[in-house]
Amino acid sequence: MHDQRLPSSPGFWRSPLRGPWLTSVLGVVLLAGITLLFVTGLLSYAAYNPDLSSVNDKTPGKGLLGFYLFAWPTSPYWLYRLTQGVHVTLGITLIPVVLAKLWSVVPKLFALPPARSLSHALERISLLLLVGGVLFEFTTGALNIQLDYLFPGSFYPLHFYGAWVFFAAFALHVALRLPAALRNLRHLRSGREREGEELVSPQPDPPTVSRRGALWLVGGASLLLFGTTVGQSLGGAWRRTALLAPHGGADPGSGPGGFQINKTASYAGIDPRETGDEAWRLVVTGRTGAVRLSRADLMRMPLYSVALPIACVEGWSTDDQWWRGVRLRDLAALVGHESDPPDVFVESLQRHGAFRSAALRDNQVADARSLLALYVNGEPLTLDHGHPARVIVPGAPGVMNTKWVARMTFGDL
């Protein structure tokens, strides 16, 4: 018989909580949660408009996996704040559920023989991808938000390709197990998982907590994570509840520029001498050639005000800030694109770093709320928020809001 000291023996696992009911409840919660996580993740990728320009695309080898890409809309103006807030908050909230699910099936992971038949072997390989995939996706995601670009550049491809592998294994697992999960939930009760059933320990230790109690514990842990995270996307007074939100970052101080700073000017290597009124010129290029504009030239153009948030891929967003500046489509008109403004390629003074340039699509350029901002909240931009000029676009990821803009090239991307 089995040696009960080995994890491959069912008798090794003594928790009286394990059983198909518990596994099925956790599974059904994950079915809803992981599906939403996958969809919002795909949306986050689309929001970068990666098919527009290679600077926007961190996974140029995606091939068919980009089949669903579309022109990211500019309305509602809080679109990315919502989709990415859901993605990051949900991912963090699901961590206890994922761990509980893995715990509930861990005896199966050690079961021997590794494969009884070809189809069983295929299923176990898919489980390896499922378990490996879930650990990989949750770890890379959490590290990226907590540690701020631990994997510079490589996070996006890792998390993107990992998501496809994980979700393919997940979809197969759901196809194989959903019928049983639903049956279990209909016919089993929390307190009565019968001996002899899969996952039920043949020699259980006495219980210290009921199955329902264990579920409350998992739910409580999720709720705690949720409550200490969600404030970073909600803003307002909620921001102070986001104890888990990373990015103490640079202290933005108070006053008009007193909102989250991602990369400071000194971190980005911006030399303040290059941003002064004497030295700084914006070079705008388009159909009719190039124009060079000083900050004073820009201030003589029609200026518009718009309240928009910055919403970062890492899940935090600012409250709506009042930006004031020149419409992108007015800049397009200056260089020969009077009607139907085209795409634009925006470059920063910054010389190194992944986010020093970005391409915006024609629908973003055309939106009357898309500005090259010179002011925020009634004052000139602070250096850390992109002085002398930065882009602000409704509905888009923070990455599109290039700071310290030096060049804008319309058309021909």
Ligand X SMILES: Nc1nc2c(c(=O)[nH]1)N[C@H]1C(S)=C(S)[C@@H](COP(=O)(O)O)O[C@H]1N2
324 three-state secondary structure: strand
Number of C-beta neighbours around residue 2 at 10 A? 12
- Residue 100 in the binding site for ligand HEM (CB under 6 A): no
> Contact 47/72 with Cβ under 8 angstroms?
yes
Could you tell me how many residues of this chain bind ligand HEM (CB under 6 A)?
A: 27
Residue selected from 13, 25, 27, 56 as contacting ligand HEM according to rule CB under 6 A: 27
CB-nearer residue toward Mo ion: 353 or 380: 353
> Contact 142/92 with Cβ under 8 angstroms?
yes
Q: Which stretch binds ligand HEM (CB under 6 A): 95-103, 186-194, 337-345, 383-391?
A: 95-103
Question: Tokens at residue 71, please?
Answer: 């022109």
- Residue 65 in the binding site for ligand HEM (CB under 6 A): no
- Residue 342 in the binding site for ligand HEM (CB under 6 A): no
- When CB distances are held under 5 to 8 angstroms depending on the partner's kind, the choice from ligand HEM, ligand X, Mo ion, none that residue 198 binds is ligand HEM
What distance in Å separates the CA atoms of residue 328 and residue 16, rounded to the nearest whole number? 64
CB-nearer residue toward ligand X: 40 or 260: 260
- When CB distances are held under 5 to 8 angstroms depending on the partner's kind, the choice from ligand X, ligand HEM, Mo ion, none that residue 159 binds is none
Write the CB contacts of 134 (distance below 8 Å, at least 6 apart in sequence): 98, 102, 166, 170
For binding to ligand X (CB under 6 A), which residues are involved?
260-263, 268, 310, 312, 348, 350, 353, 355-356, 385, 398-399, 401-404
Question: Tokens at residue 337, please?
Answer: 């694109």
Q: For residue 240, what is the DSSP state?
A: G
Amino acid found at 388 = P
Radius of gyration of the chain (CA): 26
Residue selected from 165, 180, 291, 299 as contacting ligand HEM according to rule CB under 6 A: 180
CB-nearer residue toward ligand HEM: 20 or 315: 20
* CB of residue 90 to ligand HEM, shortest distance in Å: 13
DSSP letter for each residue of 258-315: -S--SS-TTTTT--GGGGSTTT--EEEEETTEEEEE-HHHHHHS--EEEEE--B-TTS
* CB of residue 4 to ligand HEM, shortest distance in Å: 20
294 three-state secondary structure: coil
Number of C-beta neighbours around residue 17 at 10 A? 24
Interacting residues toward ligand HEM by CB under 6 A: 20, 23-24, 27-28, 30-31, 34, 98, 101-102, 105, 108-109, 127, 130-131, 134, 170, 173-174, 177-178, 180-181, 198-199
